[in-house]
Amino acid sequence: MLCSCGCLQKAGGGGKRRSSSSVEDASSSRMSELESNSRPQTTEAASTRTSSLLQLFHRKGPKCFRKPQRPKSPMQAEKTIRAAIFIQKWYRQHQARQEMRKRCNWQIFQNLEYASEQDQAELYKFFHELIKHMPQAAGTGNKSPTSTCTALLEESEALMEEVGDIVSTKVEIPIMKSHIDLLIDVFRKKRSNRLHPKYVVLILREAAKSLKEMPNLSMVSTAVSQQVTVCGDLHGKLDDLLVVLCKNGLPSTSNPYVFNGDFVDRGKKGLEVLLLLLSLYLAFPNAVFLNRGNHEDSVMNARYGFSREVERKYPRNYKRLLRLIDEVYRWLPLGSIINNRVLIVHGGFSDNTDLDLIKSIDRSKYVSILRPPLTEGQPLDKAEWQQIFDIMWSDPQSVPGCIPNTLRGAGVWFGPDTTEKFLERHRLSYMIRSHECKPNGHEFTHDNKVITIFSASNYYALGSNKGAYIRLNNQLVPRFVQYISAASQAKKLTFKQRVGIVESAALKELAVKMREYRDELETEFKKYDPDDKGYITISKWCYVMEKVTKLGLPWRLLREKLAPGTDSKSVNYFRTLDLLDTDVILEAEADGTSVMDALYANKTSLETIFNIIDADKSGEITLDEFEKAIDLLDAHMPGDTSKSEMLEKCRMMDLNGDGKVDLNEFLEAFRLSDIHRKQQQEADIRKRSTTRSSINQPPSDSVTKLANIISKNTLIIEQDIDPMDCESKIIEPTK
Amino acid sequence: MDLDFNNDLEKRISDAFCVFDHHGDKLIDVREVGTVLRLLGCVPTEQEVNEVISATETEETSGVVHLTKFLPHVSQLLMERKMEPAAPEKILEAFKILDFENKGYLTKDSFGKLMMEEGEPFTQEEMDEMWPVAIDPISGHIPYELYLNQLMVYL
Cross-chain CB nearest to B35 (options A18, A100, A557): A100
Q: What is the mean pLDDT of residues B79-101?
A: 81
Q: Which residue range is the domain that position B72 belongs to? A: 8-80
Examine the fold and report which residue of B45, B80, B115 is the final residue of a domain before the chain moves on. B80
Contact A604, A141 (CB under 8 A): no
The one-letter amino acid at A119:
D
Q: Has residue A551 got a pLDDT over 80? A: yes
What pLDDT is attached to residue A671? 64
Range list of H helices, A402-517: 416-425, 487-491, 495-515
What is the domain count for chain B?
A: 2
Residues B15, B71 share a domain: yes
- pLDDT > 70 in chain A, percent: 74
What pLDDT is attached to residue A41? 35
**Domain for residue B104, yes or no?**
yes
Spatial CB neighbours of A497, under 8 Å, sequence gap ≥ 6: none
Contact of A397 with chain B, judged by CB distance below 8 Å, is answered with: yes
- DSSP bridge pairs for A450: A431, A445
What letter does residue B23 receive in the DSSP assignment?
S
**Domain for residue B1, yes or no?**
no
What pLDDT is attached to residue A735? 53
Domain extent listing, chain A: 113-485, 595-682
**Domain for residue B148, yes or no?**
yes
Q: What is the mean pLDDT of residues A51-80?
A: 51
Do the Cβ atoms of A17 and B90 come within 8 Å? no
Q: Among the listed ranges A287-301, A468-482, A648-662, which one has the minimum average pLDDT value?
A: A648-662
What pLDDT is attached to residue A429? 96
Q: Has residue A289 got a pLDDT over 80? A: yes
Higher pLDDT, A304 or A402: A402
Catalytic residue among A235, A295, A346, A446: A295
Residues B106, B46 share a domain: no
| Separation of alpha carbons B130 and A484, rounded Å | 22
Residues B55, B105 share a domain: no
Q: For residue A342, what pLDDT band results from cuts at 50, 70 and 90?
A: very high
Residues B141, B92 share a domain: yes
DSSP result, B69-91: HHHHHHHHHHHTTTTPPPPHHHH
| Separation of alpha carbons A710 and A383, rounded Å | 47
- How would you class A476 by CB atoms within 10 Å of its CB: exposed for 0-12, middle for 13-18, buried for 19 or more? middle
Residues B66, B32 share a domain: yes
Residues in chain B: 155
Higher pLDDT, A52 or A465: A465
Q: Which of A403, A588, A392 is nearest to A509 (CA)?
A: A588
Q: Has residue A481 got a pLDDT over 90? A: yes
**Domain for residue B98, yes or no?**
yes
| Separation of alpha carbons A478 and A228, rounded Å | 10
Do the Cβ atoms of B121 and A13 come within 8 Å? yes
Higher pLDDT, A15 or A695: A695
What pLDDT is attached to residue A226? 95
Residues B67, B97 share a domain: no
What pLDDT is attached to residue A19? 28
Q: Has residue A574 got a pLDDT over 80? A: yes
Residues B107, B59 share a domain: no
Q: Has residue A360 got a pLDDT over 90? A: yes
Specify whether A196 is catalytic.
no
Q: Which top CATH class is A595-682? A: mainly alpha
What pLDDT is attached to residue A169? 84
Cross-chain CB nearest to B118 (options A14, A81, A542): A81
Just give the CATH number of A113-485.
3.60.21.10
What pLDDT is attached to residue A467? 95
What tens digit of pLDDT does each residue of B133-146 get? 777 777 778 888 87
What tens digit of pLDDT does each residue of A583-611 get? 888 888 777 665 545 554 556 667 777 77
Examine the fold and report which residue of B25, B58, B80 is the final residue of a domain before the chain moves on. B80
Average pLDDT of every residue of chain A: 78
Residues B50, B96 share a domain: no
Range list of H helices, A381-517: 382-393, 416-425, 487-491, 495-515
Q: Has residue A725 got a pLDDT over 50? A: yes
Averaging pLDDT over each range in A180-184, A367-371, A671-675, which range is the top one? Answer: A180-184
Q: How many CA atoms lie within 13 A of A131 on its CB side?
A: 20
A55 contact residues in B (CB cutoff 8 A): 120-121
Q: For residue A52, what pLDDT band results from cuts at 50, 70 and 90?
A: very low
Query: Cis omega (within 30 of 0) on the bond before A174?
Result: yes
Q: Which of B81, B12, B39, B113 is nearest to A98 (CA)?
A: B39
DSSP result, A59-98: HHSGGGSPPPSS---HHHHHHHHHHHHHHHHHHHHHHHHH
Contact A455, A235 (CB under 8 A): no
Residues B57, B38 share a domain: yes
Q: Among the listed ranges A345-354, A511-520, B120-129, which one has the minimum average pLDDT value?
A: B120-129
| Separation of alpha carbons B64 and B86, rounded Å | 29
Averaging pLDDT over each range in A153-162, A479-488, B52-61, which range is the top one? Answer: A479-488
Contact of A102 with chain B, judged by CB distance below 8 Å, is answered with: no
What pLDDT is attached to residue A260? 97
What pLDDT is attached to residue A83? 86
Q: Which of B123, B120, B100, B121 is nearest to B110 (CA)?
A: B100
Higher pLDDT, A15 or B23: B23
Q: What is the mean pLDDT of residues A341-354?
A: 96
What tens digit of pLDDT does each residue of A91-122 get? 888 888 878 888 888 888 888 888 877 776 76
**Domain for residue B3, yes or no?**
no
Residues in chain A: 735
Higher pLDDT, A137 or A662: A662
**Beta-carbon neighbour count of residue A65 at 10 Å?**
18
A47 contact residues in B (CB cutoff 8 A): 46, 50, 120
What tens digit of pLDDT does each residue of A370-395 get? 877 877 767 778 889 899 999 999 99
What pLDDT is attached to residue A61? 35
Mode of pairing for the β-strands spanning A450-453 and A442-445: antiparallel
Higher pLDDT, A202 or A80: A202
Q: For residue A688, what pLDDT band results from cuts at 50, 70 and 90?
A: low
Contact of A496 with chain B, judged by CB distance below 8 Å, is answered with: yes
CA A671 to chain centre: 29
Residues B109, B49 share a domain: no
Q: For residue A256, what pLDDT band results from cuts at 50, 70 and 90?
A: very high
Helix axes B108-117, A74-133, angle to 10 degrees: 70
Collapsing DSSP to helix, strand or coil, B58 comes out as: coil
Q: For residue A123, what pLDDT band results from cuts at 50, 70 and 90?
A: low
Q: What is the mean pLDDT of residues B126-132?
A: 79
What letter does residue B128 receive in the DSSP assignment?
H
Contact of B30 with chain A, judged by CB distance below 8 Å, is answered with: yes
Q: What is the mean pLDDT of residues A230-237?
A: 96
A13 contact residues in B (CB cutoff 8 A): 121-123, 126
Contact of A492 with chain B, judged by CB distance below 8 Å, is answered with: no
H or E stretch at A597: helix A595-601
- How would you class A308 by CB atoms within 10 Å of its CB: exposed for 0-12, middle for 13-18, buried for 19 or more? buried
Find the radius of gyration of the CA atoms of chain B: 18
Contact A167, A200 (CB under 8 A): no
Residues B100, B64 share a domain: no
| Separation of alpha carbons A54 and A167, rounded Å | 66
| Separation of alpha carbons B35 and A108, rounded Å | 19
CA A412 to chain centre: 17
Q: For residue A129, what pLDDT band results from cuts at 50, 70 and 90?
A: low
Contact B115, B130 (CB under 8 A): yes
Which CATH number is B13's domain given? Answer: 1.10.238.10
Q: For residue A656, what pLDDT band results from cuts at 50, 70 and 90?
A: low
| Separation of alpha carbons B5 and B2, rounded Å | 10
What pLDDT is attached to residue A469? 97
Q: What is the mean pLDDT of residues B93-104?
A: 83
User: Phi and psi at residue A231, in whole multiples of 5°?
Assistant: -115, 150
| Separation of alpha carbons B75 and A137, rounded Å | 58
Do the Cβ atoms of A397 and B23 come within 8 Å? yes
H or E stretch at A653: helix A643-653
What tens digit of pLDDT does each residue of A423-476 get? 999 999 999 999 999 999 999 999 999 999 999 999 988 888 999 999 999 999
Spatial CB neighbours of A319, under 8 Å, sequence gap ≥ 6: none
Q: Has residue B149 got a pLDDT over 60? A: yes
Higher pLDDT, A36 or B19: B19
Contact A358, A234 (CB under 8 A): no
Do the Cβ atoms of B25 and A12 come within 8 Å? no
- DSSP bridge pairs for A404: A412
Residues B99, B57 share a domain: no
A438 contact residues in B (CB cutoff 8 A): none
For A192-234, give the secondary structure using H, E and C: CCCCCHHHHHHHHHHHHHHHCCCCCEEEECCCCCCCEEEECEC
What tens digit of pLDDT does each residue of B53-87 get? 888 887 776 778 888 889 999 988 888 887 777 77
| Separation of alpha carbons A638 and A646, rounded Å | 13
| Separation of alpha carbons A229 and A455, rounded Å | 12
Q: For residue A57, what pLDDT band results from cuts at 50, 70 and 90?
A: very low
What tens digit of pLDDT does each residue of A67-96 get? 444 556 778 888 888 888 888 888 888 888
**Beta-carbon neighbour count of residue A29 at 10 Å?**
20
Q: What is the pTM of this model?
A: 0.77
Sign of CA dihedral A715, A721, A726, A728: positive
**Domain for residue B66, yes or no?**
yes
**Domain for residue B2, yes or no?**
no
H or E stretch at B27: strand B27-29
Spatial CB neighbours of A373, under 8 Å, sequence gap ≥ 6: A141, A365, A366, A367, A380, A381, A384, A385
Do the Cβ atoms of A52 and B46 come within 8 Å? yes
Collapsing DSSP to helix, strand or coil, A585 comes out as: helix
* Residue of B95, B124, B149 to mutate when probing chain A, most A C-beta within 10 A: B124
CA dihedral A635, A636, A639, A641 (to 10 degrees): -90
Q: What is the mean pLDDT of residues A634-662?
A: 62
Beta strands in A282-349 (DSSP E): 288-290, 335-338, 342-344
Collapsing DSSP to helix, strand or coil, A39 comes out as: coil
